[in-house]
């Protein structure tokens, strides 16, 4: 799903913010997207004492002797086509102010020099959303937001058996640029009344969205249409709206408030992201229900099987309260409890 969202952000000419605890594969998604397009890639973990030169490059000393302030950007962020910045909110004010121009205008300024940068998408990551207003304003530059958690106990075996492999290039940056150009030309006229109604419903529910963000969300919808080989946006392409909302609570609220509008949403090109956007808890419930069904029908019922079944039960309890658990999953959980008592 994360790789799909990196692609969506790139085609929309927007940036993606991933929020979650350490070790949840935030950087892996950016690296895999870079491998797909063979993009020039830059990755860095920011800290309180990170110097701007570590991100943007050192001053060209030869030019400095001539009285010209220029930066050697080769291999640094201004030279990257795809970037990942971990703990992005820990950067100094000097770094964040420079990043603002680089992210918004795709330009890098230092002294009197200005450089257009080839950056298609920047993926920022953090353990939590910032509470400081100044940092919140910077976070608003990342239009897409996704909140990740460690894999549940029910999927531990799959995690431990997995082996990360380098993806083979599947496209070029020229292919990506063609998609970007096509997204700019998508016809949104038929979808705008539906989108406007979605915004009204969200505002009535207490979700605050700035005018700037509302306008830019249309880029995500256009990108979703292009990635499904359409030149005209349809109701199927509304799903990215959910990922443009500021936090998990508002995203969950949107799935309920906009259920009727999102029912038609789907994406053949990005099925994981579209499903998470429209279903959220429902998708997790289905996954847990399927995992429980497999374990309950297995023939080998040893100690390891019992631990796996207990893990599914814990995951169900962690994800759902007695009021929110779907009936089918509730019945499956009761079957797990009865089985474990035997």
Tell me which DSSP letter residue 152 carries.
P
256 pLDDT above the threshold of 90: no
**Is the dihedral angle over the CA atoms 307, 164, 87, 30 positive or is it negative?**
negative
State residue 224's pLDDT score: 95
Assigned token pair, 225: 């249409």
Q: Is 101 left (phi over 0), alpha (psi -120 to 50) or beta?
A: alpha
Cβ contact 41:83 at 8 Å: yes
The Cα angle at residue 172 between residues 170 and 178, in degrees rounded to 5 = 115
Residue 151 has pLDDT above 70, yes or no: no
pLDDT at 66 over 70: no
Residue the block writes with tokens 């080839």: 118
Match domain 2-161 to its CATH number in 3.40.630.30, 3.10.129.10, 3.40.50.300, 3.10.20.30: 3.40.50.300
Question: Quick one: how many helices (H) and strands (E) in the chain?
Answer: 17, 7
CA-based R_g, the chain, Å: 22
User: Which of 41-55, 211-225, 292-306 comes out lowest in average pLDDT?
Assistant: 292-306
Roughly how many angstroms between the first and final C-alpha of the chain, as a whole number? Answer: 38
Lowest mean pLDDT among 150-154, 284-288, 320-324: 150-154
Buried b / exposed e over 137-155, threshold 16 CB at 10 Å, is ebbebbbbbbebeeebbbb
């Amino acid at each position: 799903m994360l790789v799909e969202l990196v692609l969506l952000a790139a085609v929309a000419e927007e940036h993606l913010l991933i929020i979650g605890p350490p070790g949840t594969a935030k950087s892996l998604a950016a690296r895999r997207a870079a491998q797909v397009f063979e993009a020039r890639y830059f990755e860095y973990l920011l800290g309180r004492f990170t110097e701007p030169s570590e991100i943007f490059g050192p001053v060209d000393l030869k030019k400095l002797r001539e009285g010209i302030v220029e930066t050697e950007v080769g291999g640094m962020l201004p030279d990257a086509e795809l970037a990942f910045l971990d703990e992005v909110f820990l950067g100094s004010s000097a770094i964040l102010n420079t990043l603002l121009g680089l992210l918004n205008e795709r330009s890098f300024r230092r002294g009197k020099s200005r450089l257009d940068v080839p950056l298609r998408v920047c993926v920022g990551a953090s353990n939590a959303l910032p509470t400081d207003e100044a940092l919140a304003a910077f976070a608003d530059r990342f239009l897409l937001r996704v909140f990740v958690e460690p894999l549940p106990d029910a999927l531990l075996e799959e995690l431990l058996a997995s082996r990360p492999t380098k993806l083979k290039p599947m496209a070029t940056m020229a292919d990506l640029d063609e998609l970007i150009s096509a997204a700019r030309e998508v016809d949104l006229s038929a979808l705008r009344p539906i989108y406007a109604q979605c915004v009204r419903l969200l505002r009535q529910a207490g979700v605050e969205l700035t005018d700037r963000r509302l306008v830019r969300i249309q880029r995500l919808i256009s990108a979703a249409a292009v990635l499904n080989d359409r030149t005209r946006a349809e109701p199927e392409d509304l799903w990215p709206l959910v990922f443009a909302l500021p936090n998990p609570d508002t995203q969950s609220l949107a799935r309920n408030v906009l259920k009727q509008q999102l029912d038609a949403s789907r994406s053949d090109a990005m099925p994981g992201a579209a499903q998470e956007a429209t279903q959220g808890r429902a998708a997790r419930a289905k996954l847990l229900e399927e995992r429980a069904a497999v374990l309950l029908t297995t023939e080998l019922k040893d100690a390891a099987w019992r631990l796996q079944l207990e893990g599914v039960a814990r995951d169900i309890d962690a994800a759902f309260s007695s009021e929110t658990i779907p009936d089918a999953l509730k019945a499956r959980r009761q079957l797990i409890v009865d089985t474990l008592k035997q």
